[in-house]
Homo-oligomer: A and B are copies of this chain.
Amino acid sequence: MTSTPVSRPDEVRRYNRSSLLRLLHVGGPVTRATLATELGLNRSTIKTLVDGLAEAGVVEERVPRPGRGAGRPSLLVLPQPQAAVVLAVDVQVEHVAIALVGLGGLILGRNSWNLHGRTGEPGEVITHVLESTAWLAADLGLKPVACGISVPGVVRRSDGQVHEAPNLRWSEVALGARMSAGLGVPVVVGNDAELGALAEHLRGAARGASDAVFVSADIGVGGGVIAQGSSLRGSGGYVGEIGHMVVNPHGRACYCGNVGCWETEVGEAALRRALALPQDSPRGAIVVELRELGQDAAASLARLGEFAEWLTLGLVNVVNLLGPELVVLGDLFTALPPALLDRVGEEVRTRSMVSRAVGGVRIEKSSLGADVKLLGAAEAAFEGVLDSV
């Protein structure tokens, strides 16, 4: 059914208000003049909106620090973080992090803990998140109005059902429903790489890009795609599993039933093999070893040559299939030696037809560090909140 674009004045006002809030939330403090230009509204409409939001305590206006220009400085409109607080949860294979994130994307408080291999117990994880949230909220005197959760697995976005999260050993966990019952607020559950892509797109290396892919290596390898400015999802809202693209048909068996998945060739275990580290060595040892190796460009290219080839091959496929303007590499990939990343970027640009067409895809490191999925989970929660602040 097609709907008719009829708009009543109160609908227009609500639409303008949430557009303005979204701009402040993502872009940070701006002047009324900039708001008017960006939203295509006249100054008196902006004044009414900003006054209303200031009265409700959602924004504040402040004199900016004196600049070089002469004349009276324009007032800056700032989002008030406490006006809307969401809970962000990042469930990883080895640890869980939670944070209360305010309007504007500011982390107001956080907590994290190690899972000590007890990932197979979703009930325990849920209980711990709920308890830890209660303490953190009480401590800060804040109450989250929504929750976003990042999970490394195949997630149904509509109701937060975790279909399969193999590295957590979770299968068919009604995470959305259970967390929502425990918290009493709406809960959005997303695939970790999808949420990483969202965070990079709104606040990180892919800011302003219309078409970007975020690929991150943890124990697994996952990818999230921004296509024409929005998250790309497939049937039923499920996000693709880039890590289970087969790159090496003669490679190692993957738990998913294939052999030579990208994940088996460039994930954490593959990095340990390439670095000749024991498979039970901690993740920190990989990072230390990579940093050290990074001091010597020639040595890093020699030792990680085969690893680099599989990384390149997977990226060529991603670029040829999706045609992004840039690929953002996250997690362990950010620790790779710079010389190796340069080489991989060059190879991808040379070997991908689509990169040649778009004038050269960029391969960049994540700029959000370890918080990328937590920030993405917060943004997923904010999506439903900004219309009703």
Contacts and interface: CB of A to CB of B under 8 A. Distances in A.
Interface of A: 1-7, 11-12, 15-16, 19, 23, 37-41, 154, 156, 163-164, 210-211, 223, 227-228, 232-236, 238-242, 244-250, 256-258, 313, 316-318, 320-325, 350-354, 356-359, 361
A259 to B, nearest CB: 10
Interface centre among A23, A163, A318 (most CB of B within 10 A): A163
Given A257-B350, A351-B257, A321 B240 contact: yes
A3 B40 contact: yes
Given A5-B5, A236-B359, A249-B249, 19 more contacts: A1-B37, A2-B39, A5-B15, A154-B354, A211-B235, A227-B233, A234-B323, A236-B323, A236-B325, A238-B323, A241-B353, A241-B354, A244-B354, A245-B320, A248-B249, A256-B351, A256-B353, A258-B316, A321-B322
Contacts of A313: 246, 249
A353 B171 CA distance: 12
29 contacts: A1-B37, A2-B38, A2-B40, A3-B40, A4-B15, A4-B41, A5-B12, A6-B7, A154-B354, A156-B357, A164-B357, A223-B321, A227-B233, A227-B234, A232-B322, A234-B322, A234-B323, A235-B323, A235-B324, A236-B358, A238-B354, A240-B320, A240-B322, A246-B247, A246-B316, A249-B249, A249-B313, A257-B350, A317-B317
Nearest to A9: B6
B234 A358 contact: yes
Contacts of A238: 323, 354, 357-358
Contact of A240 (B19, B154, B323, B356): B323
B12 A321 contact: no
A351 B239 CA distance: 17
Given A154-B353, A351-B258, A235 B2 contact: no
Contacts of A352: 244
A210 B236 CA distance: 9
Nearest to A260: B249
A258 to B, nearest CB: 5
Contacts of A354: 154, 234, 238, 240-241, 244
Contact of A245 (B3, B7, B317): B317
Contacts of A228: 233
Given A317-B245, A320-B245, A12 B16 contact: no
A241 B318 CA distance: 10
A317 B2 contact: no
A386 to B, nearest CB: 13
A118 B249 CA distance: 38
Nearest to A325: B235
A240 B4 CA distance: 34
A154 B234 contact: no
Given A5-B15, A234-B322, A353 B244 contact: yes
Contacts of A239: 323
Given A154-B354, A210-B235, A211-B234, A244 B2 contact: no
Contact of A16 (B4, B320, B361): B4
Given A5-B5, A6-B7, A164 B321 contact: no
